A and B are shown apart, each in its own frame.
Chain A
Amino acid sequence: MTTTDAAETRTDPASGRRAGVAVELRDLNRRFGEVRALDGFSLDLAPGELVTLLGPSGCGKTTALRALAGLEAVDSGTVVVGGRDLRGVPVRQRDMGMVFQSYSLFPNLTARDNVAFGLRVRGQDKAARRRRADELLELVELGGRGDRYPHQLSGGQQQRVALARALAPEPQVLLLDEPLSALDAKVRVALREQIRAVQTRLGTTTLFVTHDQEEALSISDRVGVMRDGRLEQIASPAELYARPATPFVAEFVGTMNHLPGTTTADGVEVLGRRLPVTTGRPAGAEVDVLLRPEALLVTPDPHGTGVVVATTFLGAVTRVHVRVGDTQRSGARPGGDGTTVLVDRPSAAVAGLGPGAGVTVEPAPDAQPLVA
Chain B
Amino acid sequence: MAAVISDLGATTTAEPPAPARSRRRGGSAWARRLVLVIAGLYFLVPLYAAFRFAIGTSDGGVSGAVFAGIPAQDGFLDAITLTVRLAVIALVITLVLVVPTAVWVHLRMPRLRRVLEGVTLLPIVVPPVVLIIGVLEVAPPELKGTPDLLALVYVVLALPFAYRALDSGLQAIPLTTLVEASRSLGAGWGRTLVSVVLPNLRSALLAAVVLTVAMVFGEYTMASLDQYQTFPVWIVVFQQANARVSVAVSLLALLGTWALLWLISLVDRRRQSPEDT
A interface residues (Cβ-Cβ under 8 A, vs B): 69, 71, 90-98, 100, 102-108, 117-118, 121-122, 149, 151-152, 162, 165-166, 169, 175
- B110 vs chain A, min Cβ distance (A): 15
Q: Does B269 contact A (CB under 8 A)?
A: no
Q: How far is the CA of A228 from the CA of B35 in the complex (A)?
A: 59
Name 11 extra pairs, CB < 8 A, besides A106-B181, A118-B186: A71-B180, A71-B183, A91-B184, A94-B184, A98-B184, A100-B181, A106-B182, A108-B196, A121-B185, A152-B274, A152-B276
Q: How far is the CA of A105 from the CA of B191 in the complex (A)?
A: 16
Interface pick from B143-151, B160-168, B170-178: B170-178
**The one of A92, A97, A102 that contacts B188, using a Cβ cutoff of 8 Å:** A92
8 A-B residue pairs with Cβ-Cβ distance under 8 Å, sorted by A, are: A71-B183, A92-B187, A94-B184, A102-B174, A104-B178, A106-B200, A117-B182, A175-B184
Cβ-defined contact, B178 with A96, below 8 A: no
Mostly, the B contact residues are helix
Q: With CB as the reference atom, state the residue of chain B lying closest to A118.
A: B185
Cβ-defined contact, B187 with A69, below 8 A: no
**The one of A71, A107, A162 that contacts B173, using a Cβ cutoff of 8 Å:** A107
* Complex interface: chain B residues within 8 A of A108 (CB): 196, 199-200, 202
Q: How far is the CA of A183 from the CA of B187 in the complex (A)?
A: 28
Q: How far is the CA of A91 from the CA of B180 in the complex (A)?
A: 8
B interface residues (Cβ-Cβ under 8 A, vs A): 173-174, 177-178, 180-188, 191, 195-196, 199-200, 202, 274-277
Q: How far is the CA of A91 from the CA of B192 in the complex (A)?
A: 13
- A110 vs chain B, min Cβ distance (A): 12
Number of residue pairs A-B, CB distance < 8 angstroms: 76
The verdict on A69 contacting B186 (CB below 8 Å), with A106-B196, A108-B200, A152-B274 known, is no
**The one of A92, A149, A152 that contacts B186, using a Cβ cutoff of 8 Å:** A92
* Complex interface: chain B residues within 8 A of A91 (CB): 180, 183-184
* Complex interface: chain B residues within 8 A of A93 (CB): 186
Top 6 A-B residue pairs of the complex, sorted by shortest distance between their CB atoms: A118-B185, A108-B199, A98-B184, A104-B181, A121-B186, A91-B183
* Complex interface: chain A residues within 8 A of B182 (CB): 106, 117
Q: With CB as the reference atom, state the residue of chain A lying closest to B185.
A: A118
* Complex interface: chain A residues within 8 A of B202 (CB): 108
* Complex interface: chain B residues within 8 A of A166 (CB): 184-185
The verdict on A97 contacting B191 (CB below 8 Å), with A102-B177, A106-B196, A151-B274 known, is no
